[in-house]
A and B are shown apart, each in its own frame.
Chain A
Amino acid sequence: MTAIAPAPAIPWSPRARLPRLLAGIGVGRTAGLREHERYYGPLPVPGPARGRSRGRRPERLIDVVEVAGLTGRGGSGFPVGRKMRSVAAGGGRKAVVANGAEGEPASRKDRLLLSRLPHLVLDGITLAAQAVGADEAYLCVHGTEGALLDRLDHALEERQAAGLDPVPIQLAGLPGRYVSSEQSSIVQYLNGGPGKPTFAPPRPHERGVNGKPTLVHNVETLAHLALIARHGDRWFRGAGLPSAPGSMLVTVSGAVARPGVYEIEMGTPVGQVIMLAGGPAERLQALLVGGYFGAWLPVEAAWTVPMTHAGLKAAGGALGAGMVIALPAAACPIAETARVVRYLAEESAGQCGPCLFGLPALAGALADLAYSGGSGGSEGWDRSVDDIAALIPLIEGRGACRHPDGATQLVRSLLTAFPADADWHQWRGACDGVRRPPLLPLPGDEERDWDWA
C-alpha cells in the first residue's frame, strides 16, 4: 500500500485547517530535525526559557490538553488529559511509553508518522514526560521492523546533539505479535517479560514500567500533543466537531482508487473518506470500519456516519484506529472474515482458555460456513451459523485483554450486516466470491514472530 496523503509543498500556516500532522509530509522522505522545525516550529520549552510558554510549568500542558478535548488515537478514544492527570497524580517518578507497534494489519498511519515525521512523535514524548514528571521514556515499535528502528535511532541522535530531550527516549522492539501492542503487554515486555497481556489490576497508570505509574499513548496521540503544546487548545478545536475536536489519521484500503493514509477532521462522514481516497474502484457492498476490532457496515448505512467514536458506536460499529476498508460487491464477506478470524486465533497469546480454544473454533465454524455449506458445526450444532452464534458469548469478555472481544465484535457485525449471505452459504455452500483473491490485508510471514522469545 502506498501511504501518501495530498500535501502542500510550502511551509504550512497553523491557520489552515488541514493538514496538521501531515503538514511536513511534502518533504518526501524522513523529515530531519531542521526540516521538522521549519514546518512545525521549535519544540516549546516549558519554564522560564523563551517565547509564549515563558514561565509556564510543564504540568500546565495537562490542562491545555484537557480543554482541547484530545482523545486517544490508538483505538480507545479515552480522554488524554484525564489519563495524563491520573498518571501525574501517582506517587514518585513516572514513565512514559509511546506505542508505535501498529498491530492492526490494515493500519499504516503510525508507520507513516514514525518513518516520515519522527520528530513530531518524539516532541510529544518529551512534552508528555515533562508534564507527568517522568524520568523514563520509551518508544516501542515491532522488533521485526529493522529499517524503521534505524531511522528512529538516527532521529534520536539528531535530538541528542541538539539537547532536546531532557528525559532520554529509549527505543524498544516488541515481538511481532498482534497482542504485543496491548498496553499491558508493552509494560510486561519493558519489565523483562515476553510481551503478553497481563491480568489487571494493577493497570499501567497505577503500576507499570519498573513499578512506576506509566502513561501509555499511541504515537499519533503524542503527535497531536506536540501540536497542541505549540498552538493551544482553541487552535486544536478549530477542526472537527465540538464533541470530537481535532483531526485524525485514517488508513483507507480495499476497492478504492487511491488507498493510503489521509488526515481528516473528526466527524467527517465515512463516505467522504472513501471519496478522499479516490472513490470506489468497483461497486461496493460494505465497509469494514475500525479494522479487525471494528465492524462491517453496509455501504448505504455507513456512508453518512460521522468518523467519531460516538457516531460509529451508534451505527453498530467502532472507530478503532481509523481504518476504512471497502469491500466490493463481488467479494465474499464470510470468507474474508473467516481468514481474519483465523489470523486473530493464531495471534492469541494462548493464555486464556476462552481465547485459546474459542477463537480457533470460531474461525473453523466461519470457514465451514464460507466453503462447505455450513453443515459441519461442532458440538452437535447442525448448522454453522448456529454454532457461530453459540460461540460468541463463550468468548466475549472472558479474556484478560480485549483480543477475543475484537474477534467476536467483527463476527457479530458480519451476521448483522449480511444475514442473507449467511443463509445463502448455509444452504448452497461456497459462492463465487470465495474464489476472488483475498482483500483484507494480513501481515506477511516475515513480519510475524510465531514463537514467544
Chain B
Amino acid sequence: MTFILRVNPIACTGHGMCAELLPEVIELDRWGYPILASPVVPRPLLNHARRAAQACPTLALLIEEKTGKHR
C-alpha cells in the first residue's frame, strides 16, 4: 500500500503548518503555499504526514491510500 499526499488548492489558504510538520516533503512557495517534493509519503514519515494533515486548519492536506500499483 502506498500513501499519497494531495493538496486541495481551493481549501488551502497558506497557513504553512504542513511545511513545519513535514519539512522533508513540503516546502512553501513565495506566497506561502505548499510544494510537495514528491506525492508519495516515505514510510518512515507516515506518522509525521498524518500529524501534518490533522494540523491543517483548513483540512486541505489529504493522505490517500493507494492499493497496488501507483501510476
Contacts and interface: CB of A to CB of B under 8 A. Distances in A.
Interface of A: 197-199, 351-355, 357-358, 379, 394, 398-400
Interface in B48-63: none
24 contacts: A198-B10, A199-B10, A351-B10, A352-B9, A352-B10, A352-B12, A353-B9, A353-B12, A353-B14, A353-B29, A353-B33, A354-B9, A354-B33, A355-B9, A357-B31, A358-B31, A394-B29, A394-B35, A398-B9, A398-B33, A398-B35, A400-B8, A400-B9, A400-B10
Contacts of B11: 199
| Interface size band for B | 10 to 19
A379 B31 CA distance: 11
B32 interface: yes
B30 interface: yes
Given A199-B10, A352-B12, 13 more contacts: A351-B10, A352-B9, A352-B10, A353-B13, A353-B32, A354-B9, A354-B33, A394-B29, A394-B35, A398-B33, A398-B35, A400-B9, A400-B10
A197 B8 CA distance: 12
A354 B29 contact: yes
B66 to A, nearest CB: 14
Question: Counting chain A CB atoms within 10 Å of each CB, which of B10, B12, B31, B33 scores highest?
Answer: B10
B35 to A, nearest CB: 8
B26 to A, nearest CB: 13
A199 to B, nearest CB: 5
A341 to B, nearest CB: 17
Nearest to B30: A379
A198 B11 CA distance: 10
Contacts of B10: 197-199, 351-352, 400
Contacts of A197: 10
A197 B10 CA distance: 9
A142 B15 CA distance: 36
Contacts of B14: 353
A400 B8 CA distance: 7
A394 B14 CA distance: 14
B37 to A, nearest CB: 13
Contacts of A399: 9
Contacts of B8: 199, 400
B16 to A, nearest CB: 11
B30 A351 contact: no
Contacts of A354: 9, 29, 31, 33
Contact of A199 (B9, B13, B29, B35): B9
Interface in B1-19: 8-14
A331 B34 CA distance: 39
B18 to A, nearest CB: 13
A358 B35 CA distance: 14
Q: Which 6 A-B pairs have the closest CB atoms?
A: A352-B9, A353-B33, A357-B31, A351-B10, A400-B10, A199-B8
Nearest to B29: A394
A394 B13 contact: no
A143 B64 CA distance: 39
A394 B32 contact: no
Nearest to B9: A352
A197 B32 CA distance: 22
A400 B12 CA distance: 11
A403 to B, nearest CB: 11
Question: Counting chain B CB atoms within 10 Å of each CB, which of A197, A357, A379 scores highest?
Answer: A357
A394 B30 contact: yes
A398 B8 CA distance: 9
Contacts of B30: 379, 394
Interface in B27-44: 29-33, 35
A180 to B, nearest CB: 15
A66 B32 CA distance: 46
